[in-house]
Amino acid sequence: MENKLAVIEIDQLYILIKKAVSEIVSEMVRPEQTKDLLNFKETCEYLGIHPSTLNKWKAENKIPFKRLGKRIFFERLEILNSLKDSDYNKFKKLTYD
């Protein structure tokens, strides 16, 4: 097999890299794993809190989260477990939908 060097535009390279990364990420996170993963906005809506509150809880390690690249996700069950005994439960009733 002969190695060849191809010259491509930066935009084309960006598209190729983005596609490759997207394929790898989709293999890492299967749909059955994501049904209980919430993004930042969904977590705020689920808990009925302001985004600044969620940021504060993240910084204080009151709520566990996972990073996938630059994106942050929260697992519904971990949210419930971490906040179960906190002051949050005094004014909100968390349920597993």
The pLDDT tens digits for 60-76 are 888 999 998 889 999 98
Higher-pLDDT residue of 83 and 92 is: 83
pLDDT at residue 41, as a whole number: 94
Question: Contact 63/83 with Cβ under 8 angstroms?
Answer: yes
Look-up: residue for tokens 């630059």?
70
> Domain boundaries in the chain?
31-97
Report the predicted TM-score, pTM, of the whole model to 2 decimal places.
0.56
- CATH code: domain 31-97 is 1.10.10
Helices (H), 1-97: 10-28, 31-34, 40-47, 51-59, 76-83, 88-91
Helix/strand/coil for 8: coil
Q: What is the DSSP letter of 29?
A: S
pLDDT at residue 91, as a whole number: 47
